[in-house]
Amino acid sequence: MFSLKEKISLVTGAGSGIGTAIAETFAKAGAFVFVTDRDEKTGSETAARIQAAGGAAEFLKLDVADETSCAEVARVVHERKGRLDILVNNAGIGHVGTMATTTGHDLDKMYAVNVRGVFNVTKAFIGGMLARKSGNIINLASIGGVCAVRDRLAYCTTKFAVVGLTKCIALDHAREGIRANAICPGRVETPFVKARLAEYPDPKKAYDEMASTQALGRMAKPEEIAAAALYLASDESAFVTGTEFLIEGGWTAGK
């Protein structure tokens, strides 16, 4: 079950965290993975680890906020493989702030990556998918895309937009062979989160406070998010489209 054998996939932001876990999981399931990231060092390292483990992968440098970069990556993918079966829009950035403390520049910066980035990459590949009447798009949103999170105004605004964008793609192109779903994780133990926790005077207390938001009392592992992406990428989820796929440890259970 959940085989991706002979599938061609691309994961943005695959140089660390959830993106790395998804790329490695897809490769283990048999997919060829285009590992993309703005950071050439971490992206290349992810591709190299996949290859060392016997998987098939290639690194391509990609800045999702740059339309020209997206178009060039799409050109290379189609030139080398002829198609893209699975697109995972994972790249994203975070921001802490309320309406009172968030600037217009903050919001624009978040929008450029988290929303326009998803749009740019999908736009670069949607034509080929429509021509083949086949395509699977998985967008990484957040629990902050289905409910408000305190002190995360700009972040939540962009993630709500990602969920809406996903639903529109799914509805517009469902009968043209394209599926689109949004994964909405709760807090996840990524390298970025661990680095931020280390900056607190009491990292364990900070972790416990963040983990307590989830009913399970812990954060998710990147591999747990990747497992959901594998399901959505596989043929077993053929009847699933336009969803917010929540993996949030019971965050919303009592709401």
136-164 residue pLDDT tens = 999 999 999 999 999 999 999 999 999 99
Helix, strand or coil for residue 199? coil
Q: Which amino acid is at 42?
A: T
- Are 121 and 243 in the same domain? yes
Specify burial of residue 28 (Cβ count, 10 A radius: 0-12, 13-18, 19+). middle
* In-domain check, residue 252: no
Are 38 and 50 part of one and the same domain? Answer: yes
Task: List the catalytic residues.
Answer: 155
Do 211 and 123 sit in the same domain of this protein?
no
Do 207 and 83 fall within a single domain? no
Same domain assignment for residues 122 and 203: no
Q: Does residue 120 fall inside a structural domain? A: yes
Q: What does the block give as tokens for 109?
A: 């910066």
User: Hey, is 27 helix, strand or coil?
Assistant: helix
- Identify whether residues 87 and 211 lie together within a single domain: no
Over the stretch 159-196, which tens digit does the pLDDT of each residue have?
Answer: 999 999 999 999 999 999 999 999 999 999 988 888 88
Considering the domain boundaries, does residue 193 fall inside one? yes
Taking residues 111-133, what's their average pLDDT?
Answer: 98
Let me know the angle formed at the C-alpha of 98 by 207 and 114, rounded to the nearest 5 degrees.
80
Q: Is residue 39 part of a domain?
A: yes
pLDDT in tens, 1-18: 899 999 999 999 999 999
Is the Cβ–Cβ distance between 42 and 15 less than 8 Å?
yes
254 falls within a domain: no
Residue 98: Cβ within 10 Å count: 11
Distance CA 207, CA 193 (A): 9
* 131 in a structural domain: yes
Together in a domain, 175 and 238: yes
The values of phi and psi at residue 174, to 5°, are: -60, -40
Asked if residue 255 is part of any domain, the answer here is no
Does residue 241 form part of some domain?
Answer: yes
**Could you give phi then psi for residue 56, rounded to 5 degrees?**
-110, 120
pLDDT tens-digit series, residues 24-51: 999 999 999 999 999 999 999 999 999 9
Q: What is the four-CA torsion angle of 86, 90, 91, 92, rounded to 10 degrees?
A: 150
Please name every residue paired with 184 in a beta bridge, in sequence order, or none if there are none.
246
Predicted TM-score of the model (pTM): 0.96
**pLDDT above 90: residue 240:** yes
We report the CATH number of the domain holding residue 35 as 3.40.50.720
Q: What is the pLDDT of residue 191?
A: 85
**In which domain, by residue range, is 200 found?**
189-219
C-alpha–C-alpha distance, residues 176 and 179, integer Å = 9
Distance between CA atoms of residues 135 and 227, nearest Å:
19
Structure-block tokens of residue 34: 């285009």
- Assess whether 19 and 122 both reside in one domain: yes
Same domain, 215 and 98: no
Cβ(46)–Cβ(25) below 8 Å: no
216: helix, strand or coil: coil
pLDDT computed for residue 102 by the predictor: 98
Per the structure, the count of domains in the chain is: 2
49 shares a domain with 26: yes
Residue 254 scores a pLDDT above 80: no
Q: Which of 218, 243, 222, 223 lies closest to 232, judged by CA?
A: 243
CB contact set of 178 (below 8 Å; sequence gap of 6+) = 126, 129, 130, 133, 134, 135, 136, 137, 169, 170
215 plus 149 within the same structural domain:
no
Q: Are residues 112 and 209 in the same domain?
A: no
Residues in the chain: 255
- Tens digits of per-residue pLDDT, 186-231? 999 988 888 888 888 999 999 999 899 999 999 999 999 999 999 9
The confidence score (pLDDT) of residue 192 equals: 82
Question: Could you report the per-residue pLDDT of 57-72, keeping only the tens digit for each?
Answer: 999 999 999 999 999 9
